[in-house]
Amino acid sequence: MSEIEIRDVSKVFETDEGKVQALSHVNINIEKGDIFGIIGMSGAGKSTLVRCLNFLEQPTSGEVIVRGQNLKDLNEKQLRQARTKISMIFQNFNLLMQKTVLDNVCFPLKLAGIKGEEAKKKAREYLEIVGLADKAKNYPAMLSGGQRQRVAIARALASKPEILLCDEATSALDPATTSQILALLKRINKEMGITIVIITHQMSVIQDICDNVAIMENGQVQEIGNVEEIFAHPKSAVGKRLILNVENKNTAASIESHHAYRIVFNEQSAFEPVIANMILTFNKPVNILMADTKNVGGQAKGEMIIDFGDGDHLEQIHFLKERGLDVEEVE
């Protein structure tokens, strides 16, 4: 049994301008203990999907089964109960600005009926976990974005969730702070066994911590599977676009106007001899349009885009593949 089963879920919003199909026949299984990413551009349907996971939004059709419970079979009280096992963190942190850090974390504990000093003691333990024990008396306005997100994570943990939904939780943070928050989420996943669902538009976030990913566009899942495999062999057009994500405009233009191939390798250091040997073997130069290293699932992956120039290059591609490199034409 999967921790979360999304079965043929569709969602249509009725608006003054007509119907909006936000989700269309979405099927996703998320296993217990997984860090699962849902990625897509703006408007792809990510937020709607994540709201369907706890029935903040009811699907128009289809089923959401969380930890064996079909959410549509639950009454209001049972649904509230089921939701206590699903915590959520957001891009804008959603903290109570008039309350101290400690009181923010106490909030779900008090809702659960834990009183006074007992709640404060537990809240301090959660602040300890996120590395903010010394900020208990501060107000959120006195904290940095990364610290605010840590408070939100401590508050989310205080509900003792089985599942943590993260909706663009690092989108407002700089890259270094993003890495720290992702490392904290990973630690929480490993040490507490909490299943984590990450909604993001940033492929780097998926590559950094997710085991599996669903790539969405126009309310549909375009590609789903293991992050490492999809990084090496993206199949859908949107998957290729998100993974390639060439920020340098000159490089992007070169890729478009040439016969470009993307090569993925496990260790950057091994790139050079293979490419150099290929050039020596075939006596044909190649043009390197881009080279980079990325962290995918904790492994350094080398990525290079090369242009073979005019003429036949099947033998060169065969040469690279024989040496264990993943080679794909960039369309």
Binding site for ligand ATP (CB under 6 A): 13, 15, 20, 22, 40, 42-48, 201
CB of 223 to ligand ATP, least distance (A): 15
Cβ closest to ligand ATP, residue 21 vs residue 293? 21
Give 104 or 200: the residue with its C-beta nearer to ligand ATP. 200
Phi, psi of 82 (to 5 degrees): -60, -35
167 or 228: whose CB is closer to ligand ATP? 167
The token pair that represents 192 in the structure block: 């507490």
3-state helix, strand, coil in the chain (%, to 5): 40, 30, 30
Q: At closest approach, how far in Å is the CB of 51 from ligand ATP?
A: 8
The two structure tokens encoding residue 78:
């049972």
186 close to 195: Cβ distance less than 8 angstroms: no
Residue 59 and residue 74: Cα distance in Å, rounded?
A: 14
Count how many Cα atoms sit within 13 Å of the Cα of residue 5 in the half-sphere of its side chain: 13
Please give the DSSP secondary-structure letter assigned to residue 269: G
Tokens 């990364």 appear where?
A: 146
Least distance (Å) between residue 62 CB and ligand ATP: 15
Give min distance, CB of 48 to ligand ATP, in A: 3
How crowded is residue 183: how many other Cβ atoms within 10 Å of its Cβ?
Answer: 12
At its nearest, how many Å lie between ligand ATP and the CB of residue 22? Answer: 3
Residue with tokens 């009454």: 75
The residue among 108 and 219 lying less far from ligand ATP, judged by its C-beta, is 219
**Least separation in angstroms between CB 57 and ligand ATP:** 8
Q: For the CB of residue 97, give the shortest distance to ligand ATP in the complex, in Å.
A: 23
Q: Which is nearer to ligand ATP, 22 or 106 (CB)?
A: 22
Distance CA 285, CA 301 (A): 24
What's the closest the beta carbon of residue 161 comes to ligand ATP, in angstroms?
21
For ligand ATP, the closer of residues 106 and 243 by Cβ is 243
Distance (Å) of CA 82 to CA 35, 62, 76, 86, 269 = 20, 18, 10, 7, 49
Which residues fall within 8 angstroms of residue 232, CB to CB, at 6 or more apart?
264, 301, 326
Residues 6+ apart with CB under 8 A from 38: 28, 46, 49, 50, 197, 198, 199, 200, 213, 214, 216
Tokens of 170: 């690092």
Closest to ligand ATP by CB, 20 or 82: 20
